[in-house]
Structure 1
Amino acid sequence: MSNAATKPNINPYLKMALDLGPLVVFFFANSQGKKLAVKYPILADLGEPIFIATALFMVATFISLSVSWALTRSLPIMPLVTGVVVLVFGGLTIYLHNDTFIKLKPTIVNTLFGSVLLIGLMFGKSLLKYAFEAAFKIDEEGWRKLTFRWGCFFFALAAINEVVWRNFSTDFWVAFKVWGNMPLTFIFMMFQMKLWKDHELPEEEEDTV
């Protein structure tokens, strides 16, 4: 029996809602921004739908992080970093009335994560292991390969974001951010299943009395 204190687990559906909720709010607020401005005059002062969406995105992100903290008394590093960047760049977007800042957010977050993972590998550290070791039991070579692939994938997401926001409309960028990145991430994860199977550690047999 382990003496280590265990963190309370969040219901998987609630966790999904907390992860995806702010993005859904962002998409809805951008698509319905004009109607929201009419119904709630305080939002009209923010200007175009993208600024209304950014403000509500920030609020939804803060609520999501707060609920996660209230339930587990901890915040995973990736959602925490993403949340901080959302609040900082969202604030700059609204304050300077320039949507470039919120559009740059995915580029900065993904570049940051990719850099941390690949630089960690340069120093012999498979940092992905520390985040997911409890969920995935694979050998060290598997963690190195998985960390490298995720690092490259984060850079690919950053590059895709740059192409999309610089060459397409704001509405298209918002839709792609919500409905494009998630399928891409899911497909990428599916392609990692073989690596996980190839490097999976055998289950430890429990001692019997």
Structure 2
Amino acid sequence: MRQLLEFVPIALFFIVYQMKGETITFGDWTYTLDGIFSATAVLMAATIAQVLVTWLMTRQLERRLIWLTLAVCIFGGATLVFRNEAFIQWKPTIFNWVLAIVFGGSQFIGEKNLMERTLGSQLQLPHPIWTRLNLLWVSNFLIVGALNLVVAYGFSEETWVSYKLYSAIGFTLVLTILTALIVSPHLKEQEALDK
């Protein structure tokens, strides 16, 4: 449920961007959607709403969600204040590369990397598998960040907006499948030992 909730702000960003030039009227108030700037404002509002809904549902917030919300508000706010889409286009790259540094650095701090610290209470895996998982996620964050810049600067703004929606779904799906492929043989071993 929470994974689906995380796609709502990106989907709304995409939808509002596609509606650029359309006029919204509420009584005497009229607003014309202006592409990336209206979409960014909606992204910010939807991300904050997502945090509130998550908090109301679970009474807790993951650090990653808090950092994501701060990044969206800082880069989105800069986009709106300076009327420059480069800020919101750089947000995914910076956010993903910071995650890559944090996950990668965790390999060298303490006995457990970040993946094992996060999921170790739920999964019993050998240390080399935790290392492989952590490095998979580091690679994902590095690749996602780099590809974001390639699309942002090598293609049109409209292509980048579409890429944001479809890549978020695609990379999450690929990462989930690869994680499952790495973990599943060890789950079967654990089940056999538990019997």
Tell me if both proteins adopt one fold, taking TM over 0.5 as the criterion: yes
Work out the CA distance in 1 between the residues paired with 2:79 and 2:163: 19
Return the offset for 1:152: 1.3
Return the offset for 1:17: 3.7
1:126-145 matches, cutoff 5 A:
126-145=113-132
Paired residue type of 2:5: L
1:30-179 matches, cutoff 5 A:
30-35=17-22, 37-39=23-25, 43-44=31-32, 48-123=34-109, 124-179=111-166
Runs of 4 or more consecutive aligned structure 1 residues displaced over 6 Å after TM superposition: none
Any stretches of 5+ residues in structure 2 without a counterpart?
none
Work out the CA distance in 2 between the residues paired with 1:71 and 1:181: 23
Work out the CA distance in 2 between the residues paired with 1:155 and 1:193: 20
Deviates further, 164-173 or 117-126: 117-126
Paired residue type of 1:65: V
| RMSD, matched Cα | 2.1
Work out the CA distance in 1 between the residues paired with 2:163 and 2:11: 12
Work out the CA distance in 1 between the residues paired with 2:53 and 2:76: 20
Work out the CA distance in 2 between the residues paired with 1:17 and 1:149: 22
Checking the alignment, whether the CA contact within 8 Å between 1:93 and 1:100 is kept in structure 2 is yes
Paired residue type of 1:202: Q
Paired residue type of 1:186: L
| Secondary structure class of the residue paired with 2:94 | helix
Work out the CA distance in 1 between the residues paired with 2:25 and 2:19: 11
Give me the identity figure in percent. Answer: 26
Q: Residues 94-138 of structure 1, C-alpha deviation per residue, up to 9 Å, x if partnerless? A: 001001000001001100111100011022431012223355442
Larger strand share, 1 or 2: 2
Checking the alignment, whether the CA contact within 8 Å between 2:103 and 2:134 is kept in structure 1 is yes
- Using a 3 Å threshold, how does the CA distance of structure 1 residues 16 and 119 change in structure 2: closer, same or farther? closer
Work out the CA distance in 1 between the residues paired with 2:72 and 2:59: 21
Of 174, 179, 182, the residue aligned with 1:192 is 179
Checking the alignment, whether the CA contact within 8 Å between 1:65 and 1:75 is kept in structure 2 is yes
Deviates further, 15-24 or 164-173: 15-24
Checking the alignment, whether the CA contact within 8 Å between 1:58 and 1:86 is kept in structure 2 is yes
TM-score, structure 1 length as denominator?
A: 0.82
Checking the alignment, whether the CA contact within 8 Å between 1:90 and 1:101 is kept in structure 2 is yes
